């Protein structure tokens, strides 16, 4: 993809296959397949305007604040990580690592295969040249050269195929892993939200306790509070009144927080459940994908070796027929 | 076009052959520089063993040996012949080869592995491992060298080769004894055929030495780039021109893209193999981490196994190509250089023949001139005698006639030219009066000497000028120079007549000598040409066979590789 050239037929074919797989995966997914924008996408004649319509609708539902939250909580860590999701996270990481290793090696092999193809062609050409010099064996040598050239061609076919299929599929799998990871992160986010809200709630509850129990305005333990108290006494503020106001405020906050915490808890739970389900789906899809990927790889190779063997089988009798008046 | 151009023996090339027998009748001999037995004569047990059918020599091991004298180590290669063993080191192989080349300058002696090749040291990462690889390669190539010698119709009967294979024969001793010590330094000067007996070295004095002996550097060495191309022949032999051109093209083709690309192929295969081994390991690791999903894990494992066996198959392919394709190609590149050197040798012999013929031609011309002067002088003398009997005052006339003749001589740049001028005297010196008259021509000779041009053409047309007019012209000159030249030439030459006769005699001798030389050289050239042609033909057959085998091995190695891979990948497919 990095090499540019978006109009290269090979690239277009690769992309087409990738996009097809993408759509198929959506279609299979129990939830996504019912998404309205998916249907619109399939039907629409003017996707851009339809998309704008969709976005507007979503905006009304106010989900865009999640981005802000995500940024805020980027560095915060969950206090009580759920083991289940930790495992998931690890698994995905490991999978990613493996896939990346495979991708890297396969790319290296493909590159060398491409160079090898060029060398084989050169050798074939050289043998043909030799055939021109050695008039006694011109015909067999030329046929040999032709065999080598054909071999280079099927090597090229194999490389192209592997690049289009195996590498692409690996790449898609990796992208899929990324998606999973971001969902997991989001789930963590929700839990984080919940935890933070809970903490906040706890704080406020503790504050109320304090207010109620020791009857003094908050923060009496600190020197600053002490001075404040003195100042207020001087000013003649009605301490009791202030306390009552403060208490009232705290109570309100607590009430809000309790609602929020409950909501967040629901969200988090919901999200976690969804995530767990999604992960299952991911696992299944991944297994299917990987198996397909490996099958494609294997099939490509088997075909290559069959063709190769044929080529070499055919040229051997031609060479053996070269007759020398032996001494 | 190939080496075996025409088998038609009756194509006689210009003045080269005097063919007493046709090519087919001539048994296969070689042109040797020292007497050798004819191939086929029984000579020793080793020879017998070599000539049994289906015997091979093996270089079985290479061991480091410490040289007791100089405390340096060298590698000794063990040659197994039958059930006996003999150890030789690389330098002894090299020296054996050099000796064979010097004895048989027309034979294509097989090459030995080179001493230091840059490409061997190019990828030195692990020195000891590379060393072992190089030693293995050398073993293979030395073994090939020995077996090629053993199969050669002539070289297999060479006793020195047999001694080399003898366990108890010390090579350094062999080197210092005859026949090796009697080898002529310069094969160009040797004139010998396999069946002849006389070794003529005496001619070497007048043989123009060739600038470089083609065998001073081992022809097994990679390049002869330093040696200049020999000058072209006036009447070259078309068969050998073709051979020379062909060899050049062949050498270029092989050592050019063919060798280069094949080396790259082998190297790339090696790289791919190591990548595959890594891939296999990664897949195996992957399979383990997917233990949760058994079918997937199995699938990955199977693919991993297929990749592993592919790695092994690719390594095998690489090694097979290296040993059965790249190394033989290397050998043939060396062969091409050897053939170039042999053709050059023949070319130089041909040059020698031509230059000898040239010398002969010029000497013959000299003789002609001298003899013509003799007859002229005689004729004039006779005329003079007749005139003298008629009139007494004709001396000036005769001298003028002499003058004319001498003036018109064409002289060569030879040192004889001076003397030649003086020999324009009548044959008979019996009359003392002649000497007085001979003063006159010296004048001419003086002017003649300063008038030397290499033009052999003899404008004898002037001899028909009427003497009377000549008298008028000459008389002034005569008076001016005569005194001077008389004293001058008096010192140099007492009796020009005798000198001239002397020269004629000498020239005749030289001609006889040159004629003999030319004959020998041409005979040699004939033999050499035939021997070279025969060996080229033999080589051509060997080469075609080897090329076929090389390509067959290539195809078979690839076929095996495809086969193996097909097996393992088909297995993996049944996921």
Tens of pLDDT, residues B156-190: 888 888 888 888 778 777 777 766 666 666 666 66
Q: How many CA atoms lie within 13 A of B123 on its CB side?
A: 8
Q: A167, A293 in Cβ contact below 8 A?
A: no
pLDDT at B416 (0 to 100): 41
Best to test chain A binding among B333, B555, B556 (most A CBs inside 10 Å): B555
Fold of domain A85-320: Substrate Binding Domain Of Dnak; Chain:A; Domain 2 (1.20.1270)
Q: How confident is the model at residue B432 (pLDDT cuts 50, 70, 90)?
A: very low
| Closest residue of chain B to A286, computed from CA coordinates | B296
- Residue A228, token pair as written in the block: 């404040």
Closest by CA position to B298, among listed B306, B290, B310, B309: B290
- Residue B285, token pair as written in the block: 């690791």
Q: Using a CB-CB distance cutoff of 8 angstroms, which residues of chain B are in contact with residue A117?
A: none
Query: Within a 10 A sphere around the Cβ of B171, how many other Cβ atoms?
Result: 18
> Which of A160-164, B178-182, B265-269, B288-292 holds the top average pLDDT?
B265-269
- Separation between Cα atoms, residue B142 and residue A144, nearest integer Å: 30
- Burial environment of residue B233 by CB neighbours within 10 A (0 to 12, 13 to 18, 19 or more): middle
Query: What are residue A322's phi and psi, to 5 degrees?
Result: -65, 120
- Examine the pLDDT at B293 and tell me if it is beyond 70: yes
Q: Using a CB-CB distance cutoff of 8 angstroms, which residues of chain B are in contact with residue A119?
A: 261-262, 264-265, 268
Q: Which position has the higher pLDDT, B520 or B575?
A: B520
Taking the CA atoms of residue B214, residue B340, residue B335 and residue B257 in that order, the dihedral angle to the nearest 10 degrees is 130
Alpha carbon distances (Å) from A157 to A27, A109, A110, A171, A301 = 32, 14, 11, 20, 10
- Examine the pLDDT at A291 and tell me if it is beyond 80: yes
Cβ–Cβ gap B563/A115 under 8 Å: no
Average pLDDT value for chain B: 71
- Separation between Cα atoms, residue B212 and residue B189, nearest integer Å: 12
Query: What is the DSSP annotation of B418-460?
Result: HHHHHT-S-S----THHHHHHHHHHHHHHHHHHT--------G
Question: Residue holding tokens 């009967």?
Answer: B157
Cβ–Cβ gap B258/A322 under 8 Å: no
pLDDT at B68 (0 to 100): 66
- Separation between Cα atoms, residue B306 and residue B302, nearest integer Å: 6
| Closest residue of chain A to B2, computed from CA coordinates | A134
pLDDT at B67 (0 to 100): 67
Write the residue in A137, A144, A299 that is nearest to B544 by C-beta: A137
Average pLDDT over residues A17-22: 86
Average pLDDT over residues A151-166: 90
- Residue B550, token pair as written in the block: 């090389």
- Examine the pLDDT at A79 and tell me if it is beyond 80: no
% of chain A exceeding 90 in pLDDT:
17
Q: Using a CB-CB distance cutoff of 8 angstroms, which residues of chain B are in contact with residue A154?
A: none
Q: Using a CB-CB distance cutoff of 8 angstroms, which residues of chain A are in contact with residue B262?
A: 119, 123
Length of chain A: 327
Q: How confident is the model at residue B111 (pLDDT cuts 50, 70, 90)?
A: very high
- Separation between Cα atoms, residue B82 and residue A182, nearest integer Å: 76
- Separation between Cα atoms, residue B301 and residue B411, nearest integer Å: 98
Alpha carbon distances (Å) from B176 to A84, B171, B213, B217 = 90, 9, 21, 20
Query: What are residue B153's phi and psi, to 5 degrees?
Result: -60, -35
Query: What is the DSSP annotation of A201-228?
Result: HHHHHHHHHHHHHH-S-S-TTSHHHHHH
pLDDT at B128 (0 to 100): 62
Inform me whether the C-beta atom of residue B3 falls under 8 Å from chain A C-beta atoms: no
Sheet containing strand B57-66, edge to edge, reads B57-66, B73-81, B84-89
Query: What are residue B472's phi and psi, to 5 degrees?
Result: -60, -45
> Which of B34-48, B333-347, B385-399 holds the top average pLDDT?
B333-347
Cβ–Cβ gap B278/A295 under 8 Å: no
In B149-208, the residues whose Cβ lies within 8 Å of chain A are 153
> Which of B57-71, B211-225, B296-310 holds the top average pLDDT?
B296-310
Average pLDDT over residues A68-80: 58
Q: How confident is the model at residue A237 (pLDDT cuts 50, 70, 90)?
A: low
Residue B84: strand, helix, or coil: strand
CA angle B288, B291, B293 (to 5 degrees): 135
Strand partners, B364: none
Inform me whether the C-beta atom of residue B257 falls under 8 Å from chain A C-beta atoms: yes
Q: How confident is the model at residue B459 (pLDDT cuts 50, 70, 90)?
A: very low
Inform me whether the C-beta atom of residue A321 falls under 8 Å from chain B C-beta atoms: no
pLDDT-wise least confident of A21-30, A36-45, A57-66, B149-158: A57-66
Q: How confident is the model at residue A310 (pLDDT cuts 50, 70, 90)?
A: very high
Query: Within a 10 A sphere around the Cβ of B101, how many other Cβ atoms?
Result: 23
pLDDT at B474 (0 to 100): 52
- Separation between Cα atoms, residue B53 and residue A116, nearest integer Å: 43
Closest by CA position to A28, among listed A38, A18, A37: A38
Task: Give start-end residues of each CATH 1.20.1270.60 domain in chain A.
Answer: 85-320
pLDDT at A20 (0 to 100): 87
Inform me whether the C-beta atom of residue A87 falls under 8 Å from chain B C-beta atoms: no
pLDDT at B99 (0 to 100): 87
pLDDT at A200 (0 to 100): 85
Closest by CA position to B339, among listed B248, B213, B242: B248
- Residue pLDDT, tens place only, B112-170: 988 765 445 555 445 566 677 788 888 899 999 998 988 888 888 888 888 888 887 78
Average pLDDT over residues B330-358: 88
Cβ–Cβ gap A136/B563 under 8 Å: no
| Closest residue of chain A to B573, computed from CA coordinates | A298
Q: How confident is the model at residue B477 (pLDDT cuts 50, 70, 90)?
A: low
Average pLDDT over residues B342-352: 87
Average pLDDT over residues B311-316: 93
Closest by CA position to B153, among listed B565, B507, B552, B535: B535
Q: Using a CB-CB distance cutoff of 8 angstroms, which residues of chain A are in contact with residue B556?
A: 312, 316
> Which of A278-287, A299-308, B33-42, B445-454 holds the top average pLDDT?
A299-308
Average pLDDT over residues B265-282: 91
- Separation between Cα atoms, residue A198 and residue B533, nearest integer Å: 104
Q: How confident is the model at residue B197 (pLDDT cuts 50, 70, 90)?
A: very low
Best to test chain A binding among B247, B265, B534 (most A CBs inside 10 Å): B265
Cβ–Cβ gap B548/A287 under 8 Å: no
Length of chain B: 575
Q: How confident is the model at residue A222 (pLDDT cuts 50, 70, 90)?
A: low
Q: B248, B340 in Cβ contact below 8 A?
A: yes
In B290-319, the residues whose Cβ lies within 8 Å of chain A are 290, 293, 295-296, 299-300, 303, 306
pLDDT at B220 (0 to 100): 39
Q: How confident is the model at residue B565 (pLDDT cuts 50, 70, 90)?
A: very high
pLDDT at A305 (0 to 100): 93
Tell me how close the Cα of A315 comes to any Cα of chain B, in angstroms: 7
Average pLDDT over residues B459-465: 33
Inform me whether the C-beta atom of residue A306 falls under 8 Å from chain B C-beta atoms: yes
Average pLDDT over residues B382-408: 61
Q: A286, B536 in Cβ contact below 8 A?
A: no
Q: How many CA atoms lie within 13 A of B551 on its CB side?
A: 33
Q: How confident is the model at residue B199 (pLDDT cuts 50, 70, 90)?
A: very low
pLDDT-wise least confident of A286-295, B374-383, B469-478: B469-478
Inform me whether the C-beta atom of residue B254 falls under 8 Å from chain A C-beta atoms: yes
Sequence-separated (6 or more) residues with CB below 8 Å from residue B222 = B114, B117, B333, B334, B337
Inform me whether the C-beta atom of residue A305 falls under 8 Å from chain B C-beta atoms: yes
Distance of CA B38 to the CA centre of its chain: 22
Q: Using a CB-CB distance cutoff of 8 angstroms, which residues of chain A are in contact with residue B283?
A: 102
- Separation between Cα atoms, residue B402 and residue B377, nearest integer Å: 8
Burial pattern B426-446, b for ≥16 Cβ within 10 A else e, equals beebeeeebeebbbbbbbbbb
Q: What is the ipTM of this complex?
A: 0.77
Average pLDDT over residues B63-68: 71
Q: Which position has the higher pLDDT, B523 or B445?
A: B523
pLDDT at B491 (0 to 100): 61
Q: How confident is the model at residue B246 (pLDDT cuts 50, 70, 90)?
A: confident
Q: Using a CB-CB distance cutoff of 8 angstroms, which residues of chain B are in contact with residue A325?
A: 541
- Burial environment of residue A285 by CB neighbours within 10 A (0 to 12, 13 to 18, 19 or more): middle
Q: Using a CB-CB distance cutoff of 8 angstroms, which residues of chain B are in contact with residue A137?
A: 544, 547-548
Write the residue in A119, A134, A324 that is nearest to B268 by C-beta: A119
Q: A292, B542 in Cβ contact below 8 A?
A: no
- Residue B496, token pair as written in the block: 């020009």
Taking the CA atoms of residue B366, residue B369, residue B374 and residue B375 in that order, the dihedral angle to the nearest 10 degrees is 140
Cβ–Cβ gap B269/A283 under 8 Å: no
| Closest residue of chain B to A148, computed from CA coordinates | B555
Q: Using a CB-CB distance cutoff of 8 angstroms, which residues of chain A are in contact with residue B285?
A: 98, 101
Secondary structure letter of residue B232 according to DSSP:
P
pLDDT at B429 (0 to 100): 38
Q: B153, B39 in Cβ contact below 8 A?
A: yes
Q: How confident is the model at residue B191 (pLDDT cuts 50, 70, 90)?
A: low
């Amino acid at each position: 993809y990095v090499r540019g050239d978006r109009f290269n037929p090979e690239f277009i074919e690769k992309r087409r296959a990738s996009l097809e797989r993408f759509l198929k995966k959506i279609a299979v997914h129990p939830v996504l397949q019912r998404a309205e924008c998916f249907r619109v996408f399939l039907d629409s004649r003017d996707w851009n305007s339809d998309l704008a319509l969709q976005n507007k609708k979503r905006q009304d539902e106010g989900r865009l604040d999640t981005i802000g939250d995500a940024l805020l909580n980027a560095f915060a860590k969950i206090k009580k990580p759920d083991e289940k999701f930790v495992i998931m996270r690890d698994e995905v990481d490991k999978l990613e690592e493996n896939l990346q290793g495979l991708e890297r090696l396969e790319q290296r092999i493909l590159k060398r295969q491409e160079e090898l193809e060029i060398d084989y062609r050169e050798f074939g050409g050289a043998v043909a040249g030799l055939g021109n010099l050695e008039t006694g064996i011109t015909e067999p040598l030329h046929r040999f050269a032709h065999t080598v050239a054909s071999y280079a061609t099927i090597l090229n076919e194999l490389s192209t195929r592997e690049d289009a299929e195996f590498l692409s599929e690996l790449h898609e799998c990796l992208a899929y892993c990324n998606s999973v990871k971001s969902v997991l992160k989001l789930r963590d986010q929700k839990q984080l939200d919940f935890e933070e809200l809970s903490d906040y709630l706890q704080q406020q509850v503790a504050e109320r306790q304090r207010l109620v129990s020791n009857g003094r305005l908050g923060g009496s333990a600190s020197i600053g509070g002490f001075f404040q108290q003195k100042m207020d006494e001087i000013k003649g503020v009605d301490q009791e009144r202030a306390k009552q106001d403060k208490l009232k405020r705290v109570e309100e906050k607590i009430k809000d927080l309790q609602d929020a915490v409950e909501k967040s808890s629901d969200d988090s739970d919901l999200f976690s459940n969804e995530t767990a389900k999604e992960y299952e789906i991911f696992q299944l899809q991944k297994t299917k994908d990987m198996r397909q990927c490996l099958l494609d790889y294997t099939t490509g190779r088997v075909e290559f070796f069959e063709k190769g063997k044929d080529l070499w089988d055919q040229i051997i009798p031609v060479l053996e027929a070269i007759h020398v008046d032996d001494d | 076009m190939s080496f075996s151009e025409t088998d038609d023996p009756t194509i006689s090339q210009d003045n080269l052959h005097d063919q007493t027998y046709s090519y087919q009748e001539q048994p296969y001999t070689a042109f040797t520089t020292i007497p050798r037995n004819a191939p086929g004569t029984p000579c020793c047990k080793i020879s017998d063993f070599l000539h049994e059918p289906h015997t091979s020599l093996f270089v079985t091991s290479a061991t480091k040996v410490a040289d007791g004298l100089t405390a340096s180590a060298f590698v000794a290669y063990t040659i197994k012949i039958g059930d006996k063993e003999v150890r030789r080191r690389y330098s002894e192989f090299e020296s054996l080869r050099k000796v064979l080349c010097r004895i048989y300058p027309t034979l294509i002696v097989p090459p030995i592995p080179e001493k230091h090749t840059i490409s061997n040291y190019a990828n030195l990462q692990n020195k000891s491992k590379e060393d072992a690889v190089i030693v293995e390669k050398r073993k293979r190539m030395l073994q090939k060298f020995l077996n090629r010698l053993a199969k050669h119709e002539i070289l297999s009967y060479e006793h020195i080769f047999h001694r080399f294979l003898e366990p108890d024969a010390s090579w350094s001793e062999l080197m210092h004894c005859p026949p090796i010590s009697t080898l002529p330094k310069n094969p160009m000067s040797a004139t010998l055929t396999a069946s002849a007996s006389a070794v003529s070295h005496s001619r070497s004095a007048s043989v123009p030495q060739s600038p470089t002996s083609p065998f001073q550097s081992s022809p097994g060495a990679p390049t002869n780039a330093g040696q200049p191309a020999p000058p072209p022949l006036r009447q070259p032999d078309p068969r050998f021109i073709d051979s020379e051109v062909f060899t050049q093209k062949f050498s270029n083709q092989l050592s050019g893209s063919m060798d280069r690309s094949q080396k790259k192929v082998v190297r790339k295969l090696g790289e791919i193999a190591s990548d595959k081994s890594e891939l296999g390991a990664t897949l195996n690791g992957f399979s383990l981490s997917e233990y949760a999903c058994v079918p997937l894990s199995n699938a990955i494992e199977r693919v991993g196994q297929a990749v592993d066996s592919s790695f092994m198959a690719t390594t095998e392919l690489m090694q097979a190509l290296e040993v059965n394709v790249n190394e033989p190609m290397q050998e043939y590149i060396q062969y091409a250089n050897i053939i170039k050197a042999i053709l050059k040798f023949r070319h130089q012999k041909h040059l020698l023949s031509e230059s000898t013929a040239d010398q002969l031609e010029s000497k013959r011309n000299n003789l002609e001139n001298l003899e013509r002067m003799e007859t002229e002088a005689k004729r004039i003398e006779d005329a003079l005698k007749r005139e003298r009997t008629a009139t007494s005052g004709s001396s000036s006339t005769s001298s003028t006639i002499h003058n004319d003749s001498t003036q018109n001589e064409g002289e060569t740049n030879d040192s004889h030219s001076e003397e030649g001028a003086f020999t324009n005297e009548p044959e008979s010196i019996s009359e003392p009066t002649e000497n007085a008259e001979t003063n006159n021509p010296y004048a001419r000779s003086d002017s003649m000497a300063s008038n030397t041009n290499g033009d052999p053409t003899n404008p004898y047309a002037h001899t028909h000028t009427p003497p009377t007019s000549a008298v008028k012209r000459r008389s002034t000159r005569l008076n001016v120079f005569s005194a001077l030249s008389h004293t001058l030439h008096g010192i140099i030459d007492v009796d020009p007549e005798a000198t001239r006769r002397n020269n004629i005699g000498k020239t005749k001798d030289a001609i006889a000598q040159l004629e003999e030389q030319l004959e020998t050289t041409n005979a040699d050239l004939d033999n050499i040409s035939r021997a070279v042609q025969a060996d080229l033909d033999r080589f051509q057959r060997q080469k075609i066979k080897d090329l076929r085998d090389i390509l067959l091995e290539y195809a078979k190695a690839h076929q095996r590789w495809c086969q193996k891979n097909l097996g393992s990948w088909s297995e993996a497919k049944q996921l």
